[in-house]
Amino acid sequence: MGESVQAASPAIALRGVSVSFLLPKGGAYAAVASTDLVVAPGEFVAIVGPTGCGKSTLLNVAAGLIQPSTGSASIFGRPLAGLNAEAGFLFQQDALMPWKTALDNVAVALEPKGVPRRQALERARDWLDRVGLAAFADRYPHMLSGGQKKRVALAQILIRDPRILLMDEPFGPLDAQTRQIMGNLLLDLWAQDRKAVLFVTHDLEEAIALADRVVVMSAGPAAVIVGDTMIDLGRPRDIAEIRTEPRFHAIHKQIWATLRGEVQKAYAQGEGRRA
């Protein structure tokens, strides 16, 4: 898809981005301090870091949901103003409309694009089939399991064919087996057209198994990027099997050396705050 044209401009480029929130009692909390992050077209980048380190904040900046206090975000070479129209965003929490069936939830994603309803329903059916939920089209979200809801959410985003996927610990609430199945599904779908992906997780194994590159963020406040590792594992991958490979362990050990210190720092801060 015109990769040669876009090769010059990265899918996501965050330059000198910092984010601070005003506190209700006055003053400001610096979540992210001056950070640079570049995601090339077709690249799968995972961000790991201790809880509350500002990984999600960075993702929200790339989505246009949060305005950075300083610095700039550009998407395919264009400065980002307002919401990122090139991106699909998979949330950690349930984001499906509970009053719509699985089919309607997926089909409604095409309405902003002006696709006629009949055609939208047809394409939504096709997408539910691709995420393995053809038989659940008429179910409402409360009748679906956690994993099934994520599948619907994935179909809802992918049906719009965005050029970027932003994922905020999307498989966090799921059990271990479902996470693996969802990870493999995501990789299968991603392999078909290689969108640029920015994937936030606190699970280092998941990050390595999925991504081309793993970025480590430091403990907050004023989090910065402290590690950036290329994952030289072959594709296609199977999330469950790849974990047994020696190379996987070597990479894990290397990144964990960085991440461990940050996790301990975050933990110590949490204890300090409580004391």
| Site residues (vs another protein, CB under 8 A) | 63, 65, 83-85, 87-89, 91, 93-101, 108-109, 111-113, 140-142, 153, 156-157, 160
Burial class of 48 by CB neighbour count within 10 A (0 to 12, 13 to 18, 19+): buried
Residue 148 CB, nearest approach to another protein (Å): 15
Q: Helix/strand/coil (H, E, C) string of 141-168?
A: HHHCCHHHHHHHHHHHHHCCCCCEEEEE
Closer by beta carbon to another protein, 50 or else 88: 88
In terms of Cα–Cα distance, which of 165, 116, 167 is closest to 124? Answer: 116
Closer by beta carbon to another protein, 108 or else 189: 108
Residue 123 CB, nearest approach to another protein (Å): 14
Residue 209 CB, nearest approach to another protein (Å): 26
How many CA atoms lie within 13 Å of 129's alpha carbon, on the beta-carbon side? 6
Residue 37 CB, nearest approach to another protein (Å): 19
Closer by beta carbon to another protein, 43 or else 104: 104
Tell me the C-alpha distance between 105 and 144, whole Å. Answer: 13
Closer by beta carbon to another protein, 139 or else 194: 139
Residue 216 CB, nearest approach to another protein (Å): 26
Closer by beta carbon to another protein, 102 or else 214: 102
Between CA 62 and CA 70, with CA 65 as vertex, the angle to 5 degrees is: 65
Tokens of 11: 């899918």
Integer CA distances (angstroms), 72 to 8, 24, 76, 135, in order:
18, 26, 13, 44
